[in-house]
Structure 1
């Protein structure tokens, strides 16, 4: 679809979601007009009519383009590259495309799971004492290991895409911005971070994140005090918690009905959430 046939897109969104931030940055880089809003009851696992018909997983981001809907941030970015080819985000070279897609995969799974766990422990208070200390130590250790790998992918380039800001940078930006620990000052990763924060698409998106984070933190124990909200432990999030000493957190959340898993949910989880 050429820019001459542009229509305003709509994004089911949450300002704190790293995946939704990734899509907002991409839309802004492509110069596409869009509206966005957070679906009602997001995080409860309940069917929101504004979202359920377009995404059975009831997750953000979900992008609506006319009568067509796309979910999953990676698939959304692929769709934007195909449907709106002007201002391309991906490198032209096939090997470079694979490299930035590897970066995306690590950030969207392994790195995101650590950031997620940090919120579970420090915002929603799911762990205390020795269990909390052990989880936080693992968060820091594993984050530093991932950052070392990311620096190797960045190399001597100013951006993950090379000489220009692009796909890889969009995928790293929201994950790193929310990171448990940051790279040392004046390291390659830190200099990259200082550079991208000056870019208008990133600056605007990070500003929305900061505003959304205030409300997110104010929710406090909403997920752990029987208020009907249930955190979704996707596969890589569950893996981090189990391998890092947080199995008790998951077990308690299942017992209390404050943890859910992806669509379609299993019978025991649905029965527990309705108690």
Structure 2
């Protein structure tokens, strides 16, 4: 069987989704950190597999796939058991909508908190104000997620699956910044259940361990060695949360980039 290679970074919730799915299905894979990740000038097999220059990217023999959702769909097609998607069409659509909300809206909040705390894009009153807004935004999404969960044990329904692995990396990321679902809430109880699963726990351990390598990373940004990727939803978050000057300074300094080759 062809070797399965996953280009990833442990802090990436997009990559965590894929690792959780593979581990739930007991599919062996080799995790690799892309060459030059964060510089905007990645190379090797990763660059060939993903013109966006973002993790994750999956290589399976001659097959090269980027985008976490498309990768999850490929995994589901090649290794259908245990199924991560619900059986009913309406339920499949529901968990895919949950995934989209987390990928394109909630992700910007945790990413933005990383910009403030790891990359030190703002300090003092500006940082405090932006973090307060981030907390308000996250708590509003917790309410949305409570609605999606309802009285189900899992977002997927009767068993852990696609809907759950699409949420847990983001909520764990927010918890790392001290933002958690309210104690006693259905969402908090779900998060406790999800984190007990070894597939989730392992991804979380890897994520936490990688944070130690973030020391002085803000200096690398200031030196122009890192170019942070401002995808459209991340750029929107910065603009609406009080970070307009952060974007302008980053453009002037050349330490932010946008998606795609030549950017």
TM-score by length of 1: 0.91
Alignment map for 1:139-218 (pairs within 5 Å): 139-179=134-174, 180=177, 181-216=179-214, 218=215
Residue of structure 1 in register with 2:30 after alignment: 35
Report deviation, 1:33.
0.8
For 2:73 and 2:220, locate their aligned partners in 1 and report how far apart those are by CA, in whole Å. 33
For 1:31 and 1:208, locate their aligned partners in 2 and report how far apart those are by CA, in whole Å. 18
Residue of structure 2 in register with 1:93 after alignment: 88
Report deviation, 1:63.
0.6
Q: Is the 8 A contact 2:52 2:259 kept in 1?
A: yes
Report deviation, 1:223.
4.4
SS at match of 1:16: coil
TM-score by length of 2: 0.95
Q: Is the 8 A contact 1:126 1:224 kept in 2?
A: no
Report deviation, 1:35.
0.6
Question: What runs of 5+ residues in structure 1 fail to find an aligned partner?
Answer: 1-5, 267-275
Residue of structure 1 in register with 2:217 after alignment: 220
Indicate how the Cα distance of structure 1 residues 147 and 88 shifts in structure 2: closer, same or farther if over 3 A, else same: same
SS at match of 2:31: strand
Residue of structure 1 in register with 2:243 after alignment: 246
Deviating 4+ runs (over 6 angstroms): none
The superposition leaves residues 90-143 of structure 1 with CA deviations (integer Å, 9 ceiling, x where unpaired) of 001111111111110011111000000001111111012332122111101110
Alignment map for 1:4-19 (pairs within 5 Å): 7-19=2-14
Root mean square deviation, CA, Å: 1.3
Match of residue 60, structure 2, among 52, 58, 65: 65
Report deviation, 1:254.
0.7
Question: What runs of 5+ residues in structure 2 fail to find an aligned partner?
Answer: none
Alignment map for 1:100-111 (pairs within 5 Å): 100-111=95-106
